[in-house]
A and B are shown apart, each in its own frame.
Chain A
């Protein structure tokens, strides 16, 4: 039972809308919101009165993910009767979910079905006559949640989760048998046994988290930046991908001053394309703004299409781009293959493994780009029957389990006794059990009796 915790959820309708609202409610709502929200005037939400708003941005893992308005409600004057912060951000499910993610990582837990209303009721904010309606919502949603848990139970995801859970259970049962039956000749558990199992679990769980991001990428689109020195053919390439003339294409360097956005379908992957200004140093004030934005955008993107000119030698801009490409998933696109090659291709190869050759002006090479992008986005190898996390709750379970596994590992590494390590392992198991809709109770003990011959 998660009571008196701070809960969060997206409270606007799902789908591509103008504005997305993330509602955070509970004792820690304001404190948690303060961890992700940077007020433009630096004032903390904690110092604000109820019924006030602030403008600023939401920051996640050190990066600004969106501009947002924060509305502060103080208990009991809110929908739920608790402290509430509502973060209104720019629409798009991707951004909205990112903001929710930030709030969850900052300490909130995903709200249960009907939980805001339930809290509203328990705090006397909703009329008695509505109580039964709330019960109906909860039981209806719990039935659908149960159905989705059954899907998890039978699906590929379940196999993955069960595999991790089984290994953790086996280890924990061994630790328990070893602790509870010291006089039986049960094999010692070594630090290596624990570390190996933890590392294996860590790999599977973090891979699952990645596929969640991938799954999201498939649904929401990957933020993709096309970058390269001026006049390398970025705008032409963008037009090649999107099929319409979006950017102003000229031969004069610096024509594209702003980040132009477009959403295109490349193979099975949605790319949210930004055509940037070149990275070149400039004295032109207006152009400088464009260049700065491009650099920033580039360092935050999910996929970089780095364009190089086949007909020219690498210059400082190119070298900078090669350096930047080390930080983000990149496809190097060597454009203008219709012209003679003067490029030092080995230099590019040293940093970027995905290299394709196109002649954007002639409309050649789109197929190769599709393949490369699919490969990087993972959908190329993404087996459709492979288990993928499908919602924030599952992600939260896996995230917490992963944290607990890491905690266990860290405890072993600093030399903590195994009773403490076991506590973290059990936390991980209970997160995974919750995910598959099972109840933690005597799983470990049952496993002890199954695996070990213990008794007087």
Chain B
């Protein structure tokens, strides 16, 4: 017998990284919000790598933080070691990555949720979703029925989860939790286009069974940099990571046992990501590569579990142990959790609008792995977008859509809903065409005004942000006005940096433009320099050195923005427009783009089709 258990403005199914950001954002915007989890001890769990950030993912975390999300702050609070990746490769690809204490991270997130006003955290498996007047009814396995105005589905790998280890296979969520076995059926019945994806994770081994003596050590940055613009300082790095390599013997074992891999034996139907292949995939696809690198990373301060980055596998447990034992340092390692592959249900994201609301199911939203993405950071970013939009729907506010021009988050969402995902989607810097504008250092400039307008950035933080922008403006003015004379000391510095000497006085800004020079080396001759915020220096320096590229990309942004401003009708049958090619009609009907800009990015829609659309729109306007 079901019973009526209550009403919510926003209900979030799943308390992983997507669900958390969705629920916190909705509650903070004043909506009466519930977040459901299958297991109270799995809230904010990191079932794969014990780290947050990485290339392009670090950008996502910074952007989320600039908007008022939680991931960056919590990662800072739980950090073990932090490194800015790609130093020396250019500011567009600098990315922050932090090793975190995964238990502490989960506990901290859970506690924040518990303390959040307007938000209720419940352990319950949602088994049924039903469309009703004004929203949806969610039923739990305990037969409680909740009426919810809006719903965000953020089920991760729980939805129809099935684990594979060699010949062994069983229904399961990640890390030995229960899977959500009934909700998938219900979503399918509702009419959502579900399909199967696959991902995997490596083994965890016991720290004291590893011989670190001959392994390469990887230390953190000194000083480590935080994710959040609100975190003042992180203190010292707490741990080291280690690097080792596979060898011929490892390869031999894989090749001898490849027939026992469920993927190669054809037992897994789900599509796995190319960028996160199992180790046996790497061996099979790149047979000539003599060795593969792996990282040994601690999972936390209060555990001896170590994560083997790069060693994901779905081979049988005994084979795993055998090949791990061929690796230097791991010869006698004790395996605590085996590596596994997990297959799960997710949705075709082209069924959604850029608000992450389903086109055909108003008030129903999706986020995270359920949308076909991969990674904690990608999930959190979508969770935030879906949560804000669910809240806005309830509050009667405008849709919240980020763009490719202002963020990686916008790029991520646009890619998903416009191009779809044929494999779990991972963010990469190569996915953004505006890399030199969308940097991790300037996420606050790009998005904090938006976060403030949303109401998710505090007044105090806003004032701090404004002061920082002032400081930046003053500093650029100072660099433009300060003239450096051609003294011996100046030229000594220039020569030591392998750049040409000066013969007349030049403005400081001109010296700053030279790629070889920076704040640090100019310090002795820049005597009038005021005390500057570290991030201010970073932004000023980049903006001066890359001015040409930035201006060029901003021009492209402006061109595209005009196209984004041309809105297309909802639920329109594009077969009505004569002159569009058949393929374009079909694609446009499926995607239902919001505007001309989005339409132009759909594969199969040509520039001529766009011209036809523009004319049709103009003709339409005239007719009315």
Interface residues of A (CB under 8 A from B): 1-5, 112-115, 118, 121-122, 124, 128, 131-132, 134-136, 138-139, 141-142, 145-146, 176, 178-185, 414-420, 422-423, 426, 439, 441-442, 444-445, 448-449, 453-456
Within 8 Å CB of B276, what residues of A?
A: 455-456
Q: How distant is the Cα of A112 from the Cα of B312 in the complex, in angstroms?
A: 50
Q: How distant is the Cα of A157 from the Cα of B403 in the complex, in angstroms?
A: 37
Within 8 Å CB of A121, what residues of B?
A: 615, 618-619
Pick from B286, B515, B578, B606: contact of A453, CB under 8 Å: B286
Q: How distant is the Cα of A135 from the Cα of B85 in the complex, in angstroms?
A: 50
B100 to chain A, nearest CB (A): 15
Q: Which residue of A lies closest to B374 (CB)?
A: A456
Within 8 Å CB of B310, what residues of A?
A: 455-456
Residues of B558-597 at the interface with A, using a CB-CB cut-off of 8 Å, are 559-560, 562-563, 578-581, 596
Contact across chains for B615 and A184 when beta carbons are under 8 A apart: no
Assess whether B277 is interfacial by the CB under 8 Å rule: yes
Contact across chains for B89 and A3 when beta carbons are under 8 A apart: no
Pick from A179, A417, A455: contact of B429, CB under 8 Å: A179
A135 with B559: in contact, given A415-B515, A445-B430, A453-B286 (CB under 8 Å)? no
Q: How distant is the Cα of A455 from the Cα of B313 in the complex, in angstroms?
A: 12
Pick from A138, A420, A454: contact of B611, CB under 8 Å: A138
Within 8 Å CB of A185, what residues of B?
A: 292-293
Contact across chains for B428 and A180 when beta carbons are under 8 A apart: yes
Pick from A132, A146, A417: contact of B89, CB under 8 Å: A417
Residues of B68-82 at the interface with A, using a CB-CB cut-off of 8 Å, are none
Interface flags, B507-523, vs A, CB<8A=1, else 0: 00000000110000000
Assess whether B274 is interfacial by the CB under 8 Å rule: yes
Q: Which residue of B lies closest to A434 (CB)?
A: B607
A445 with B428: in contact, given A135-B579, A139-B581, A417-B515 (CB under 8 Å)? yes
Q: How distant is the Cα of A423 from the Cα of B437 in the complex, in angstroms?
A: 11
Q: Which residue of B lies closest to A129 (CB)?
A: B619
Q: How distant is the Cα of A442 from the Cα of B428 in the complex, in angstroms?
A: 11
A-B pairs with lowest CB-CB distance, top 5: A417-B90, A419-B90, A142-B608, A419-B92, A135-B579
Contact across chains for B603 and A441 when beta carbons are under 8 A apart: yes
Interface flags, B594-605, vs A, CB<8A=1, else 0: 001000110100
Residues of B39-68 at the interface with A, using a CB-CB cut-off of 8 Å, are 48-49, 55-56
Contact across chains for A139 and B579 when beta carbons are under 8 A apart: yes
Assess whether B260 is interfacial by the CB under 8 Å rule: no
Q: List 25 A-B contacts (CB under 8 A).
A: A1-B596, A3-B559, A4-B562, A5-B559, A112-B608, A121-B619, A122-B618, A138-B579, A138-B611, A139-B612, A142-B607, A179-B55, A182-B86, A183-B85, A183-B293, A419-B436, A420-B90, A420-B549, A423-B553, A442-B419, A449-B274, A449-B275, A453-B289, A455-B276, A456-B202
Within 8 Å CB of A419, what residues of B?
A: 89-93, 429, 435-436
Contact across chains for B92 and A180 when beta carbons are under 8 A apart: no
Within 8 Å CB of B289, what residues of A?
A: 453
Contact across chains for B86 and A138 when beta carbons are under 8 A apart: no
Contact across chains for B618 and A453 when beta carbons are under 8 A apart: no
Within 8 Å CB of A442, what residues of B?
A: 419
Within 8 Å CB of B618, what residues of A?
A: 121-122, 131
Q: Which residue of A lies closest to B609 (CB)?
A: A142
Within 8 Å CB of A135, what residues of B?
A: 578-579, 612, 615-616
Q: Which residue of B lies closest to A419 (CB)?
A: B90
Contact across chains for A1 and B563 when beta carbons are under 8 A apart: yes
Interface size on B, residues (CB 8 A): 67
Q: How distant is the Cα of A118 from the Cα of B619 in the complex, in angstroms?
A: 11
Q: How distant is the Cα of A6 from the Cα of B55 in the complex, in angstroms?
A: 38
Interface flags, B332-375, vs A, CB<8A=1, else 0: 00000000000000000000000000000000000000000000
Q: How distant is the Cα of A112 from the Cα of B608 in the complex, in angstroms?
A: 9
8 new A-B pairs (CB below 8 Å) besides A180-B93, A448-B430, A454-B275?
A1-B607, A181-B55, A182-B55, A183-B309, A422-B435, A423-B436, A453-B292, A456-B312
Contact across chains for B515 and A3 when beta carbons are under 8 A apart: no
Residues of B170-209 at the interface with A, using a CB-CB cut-off of 8 Å, are 202
Residues of B282-315 at the interface with A, using a CB-CB cut-off of 8 Å, are 282, 285-286, 289, 292-293, 295, 309-310, 312
Contact across chains for B85 and A182 when beta carbons are under 8 A apart: yes
Q: Which residue of A lies closest to B87 (CB)?
A: A182
Contact across chains for B282 and A453 when beta carbons are under 8 A apart: yes
Q: Which residue of A lies closest to B279 (CB)?
A: A455
A420 with B436: in contact, given A138-B611, A139-B612, A184-B293 (CB under 8 Å)? yes
Q: Which residue of A lies closest to B291 (CB)?
A: A185
A412 to chain B, nearest CB (A): 10
Assess whether B614 is interfacial by the CB under 8 Å rule: yes
Within 8 Å CB of A142, what residues of B?
A: 581, 606-609, 611
Pick from A3, A414, A423: contact of B435, CB under 8 Å: A423
Contact across chains for B430 and A131 when beta carbons are under 8 A apart: no
Pick from B55, B282, B612: contact of A180, CB under 8 Å: B55
Assess whether B623 is interfacial by the CB under 8 Å rule: yes
Contact across chains for A444 and B430 when beta carbons are under 8 A apart: yes
Chain B CB within 10 Å, residue with most, of A145, A439, A456: A456
Pick from B89, B275, B419, B549: contact of A455, CB under 8 Å: B275
Q: How distant is the Cα of A448 from the Cα of B281 in the complex, in angstroms?
A: 16
Within 8 Å CB of B553, what residues of A?
A: 423
Contact across chains for B436 and A176 when beta carbons are under 8 A apart: no
Q: How distant is the Cα of A3 from the Cα of B466 in the complex, in angstroms?
A: 35
Q: Which residue of B lies closest to A123 (CB)?
A: B618
Q: How distant is the Cα of A113 from the Cα of B92 in the complex, in angstroms?
A: 37
Within 8 Å CB of A416, what residues of B?
A: 90, 515
Q: How distant is the Cα of A2 from the Cα of B596 in the complex, in angstroms?
A: 12
Contact across chains for B611 and A112 when beta carbons are under 8 A apart: yes
Pick from B277, B285, B578, B607: contact of A132, CB under 8 Å: B578
Chain B CB within 10 Å, residue with most, of A146, A415, A426, A455: A455
A80 to chain B, nearest CB (A): 13
Within 8 Å CB of A139, what residues of B?
A: 579-581, 608, 612
Assess whether B610 is interfacial by the CB under 8 Å rule: yes
Contact across chains for B430 and A441 when beta carbons are under 8 A apart: no
Assess whether B212 is interfacial by the CB under 8 Å rule: no
A190 to chain B, nearest CB (A): 13
Q: How distant is the Cα of A448 from the Cα of B516 in the complex, in angstroms?
A: 30
A122 with B615: in contact, given A181-B55, A419-B93, A441-B603 (CB under 8 Å)? yes
Q: Which residue of B lies closest to A1 (CB)?
A: B600
Assess whether B8 is interfacial by the CB under 8 Å rule: no
Within 8 Å CB of A445, what residues of B?
A: 428, 430-431
Contact across chains for A180 and B430 when beta carbons are under 8 A apart: yes
Q: Which residue of A lies closest to B433 (CB)?
A: A426
Q: Which residue of A lies closest to B285 (CB)?
A: A453
Assess whether B622 is interfacial by the CB under 8 Å rule: yes
Q: How distant is the Cα of A442 from the Cα of B560 in the complex, in angstroms?
A: 19
A123 to chain B, nearest CB (A): 9
Q: Which residue of B lies closest to A189 (CB)?
A: B89
Within 8 Å CB of A420, what residues of B?
A: 90, 92, 436, 546, 549
B435 to chain A, nearest CB (A): 6
Within 8 Å CB of B56, what residues of A?
A: 180
Contact across chains for B612 and A138 when beta carbons are under 8 A apart: yes
Q: Which residue of B lies closest to A447 (CB)?
A: B430
Within 8 Å CB of A178, what residues of B?
A: 89
A427 to chain B, nearest CB (A): 9
Contact across chains for B435 and A128 when beta carbons are under 8 A apart: no
A136 to chain B, nearest CB (A): 7
Chain B CB within 10 Å, residue with most, of A122, A138, A178, A417: A417
B59 to chain A, nearest CB (A): 11
Q: How distant is the Cα of A122 from the Cα of B609 in the complex, in angstroms?
A: 15
Contact across chains for A441 and B611 when beta carbons are under 8 A apart: no
A429 to chain B, nearest CB (A): 12
B49 to chain A, nearest CB (A): 6
Within 8 Å CB of B515, what residues of A?
A: 414-417
Interface flags, B257-271, vs A, CB<8A=1, else 0: 000000000000000
Q: How distant is the Cα of A455 from the Cα of B293 in the complex, in angstroms?
A: 10
Contact across chains for B608 and A134 when beta carbons are under 8 A apart: no
